[in-house]
Amino acid sequence: MMTSTSGLAERIAAVQAAVDRAIARAGRDPASVTLVAVSKTVDREAVDEAYALGLRHFGENRVQEATAKFASPLPADATLHLVGHLQTNKVRSAVALFDLVESVDRPSLVDALEKEAARAGRLVPVVLQVNVAREPQKAGCAPEDAAALLAQLRRCPHLSPRGLMTIAPLEADPERTRPVFRALRELRDALTRDLSEVDLGVLSMGMTNDYAIAIEEGATHVRIGRAVFAG
C-alpha cells in the first residue's frame, strides 16, 4: 500500500482543473460533478491529507481493507463510497461502514442489504451497477435487468436507490468509451421516465483514463484513483 503523499496537492489541482475543463466543454454547472478519490491503493495518512486539501468523497473497493483503514471514522462531512464488488458475506460490515454502496448488481445482494440495513436501523443509499459493455470479467447487472432490480429496491424500506454506475472498458483512446457512458445516461433517463417519482440523479461513471468523456456524457460522480494518489 502506497504511503507517500508527495505531490498530492499538485495532482488534486491538476485533476480538478481537468474536471472543470470537461464541465465547461459540456456547458454544465460546476457543482454538478463530484470527484470521488478512490483510495484503495493508499493508506489512511494519504486519505487524511487529501481530506485536508479539500476532498470530501472517497471510494474503496474491498470491505475488509476499508474497515481496517477507517477504524477511526472520517470526519462527519466526508462520504465513503463502496465502489467494488460486494460479497453477501461482507454486507454487515459494508452497512456499518459505508455511506453509499455503488455496486448493487443482483437480487440476492439487494435482499442481504435490506436485511442488514433493517437490523442496523439504517436507510442505506445505493447505486445500481450496470455492466453496459457486457464484459464477462466485470460485475454489474445487464442493462435489460436494471428495471427489475430497481423495482426490487423500491420495495425495500431500508434501501434508497440513488442512480446508476458503470465501469467502461479500458481503451487506449478514451473517446471509444463514449457510447458506454451515453448508454448509461440513456438507461437512467428511460428508468426515470417510467418511474417519475424516483430520483436517480447519480450517474457514477468515469475513471482516471476516461473521466473527461464521462463528464461530457453526464457523469455526476467520477471515480479517480491513480491520477489523484499515484506518486
**What DSSP element (H or E) covers 228?**
helix 226-229
Contact 109, 84 (CB under 8 A): no
Please give the grid coordinates belonging to residue 30.
Answer: 460546476
**Would you say the pTM of this structure is higher than 0.85?**
yes
Which of 122, 118, 123, 125 is closest to 103 using CA atoms? 125
- The residues near 7 (Cβ < 8 Å, ≥ 6 apart) are 231
pLDDT over 90 percentage in the chain? 93
Least confident of 58-72, 182-196, 206-220: 182-196
Name all domains of the chain by residue range, CATH numbers in brackets: 8-229 (3.20.20.10)
**How are beta strands 221-224 and 100-104 bridged, if at all?**
unpaired
Q: Flag whether pLDDT at 102 surpasses 80.
A: yes
Mean pLDDT, all residues of the chain: 94
Q: Flag whether pLDDT at 189 surpasses 80.
A: yes
Q: What is the reported pLDDT for 124?
A: 98
Q: Classify the phi-psi angles of 206: left when phi > 0, otherwise alpha if psi is within -120 to 50, otherwise beta.
A: left
Which of 149, 161, 155 is closest to 109 using CA atoms? 149
Q: Flag whether pLDDT at 77 surpasses 90.
A: yes
Q: What is the mean pLDDT of residues 89-114?
A: 98
Q: What band does 153 get if pLDDT is binned at 50, 70 and 90?
A: very high
Q: What band does 230 get if pLDDT is binned at 50, 70 and 90?
A: confident
Residues 199, 197: Cα–Cα separation, whole Å: 7
Q: What is the reported pLDDT for 196?
A: 67
**How are beta strands 159-165 and 221-224 bridged, if at all?**
unpaired
The helix/strand/coil state of 116 is helix
Residues 132, 64: Cα–Cα separation, whole Å: 27
Q: Flag whether pLDDT at 56 surpasses 60.
A: yes
pLDDT greater at residue 207 or residue 231: 207
Burial class (CB in 10 A: 0-12, 13-18, 19+), 134: exposed
Contact 204, 219 (CB under 8 A): yes
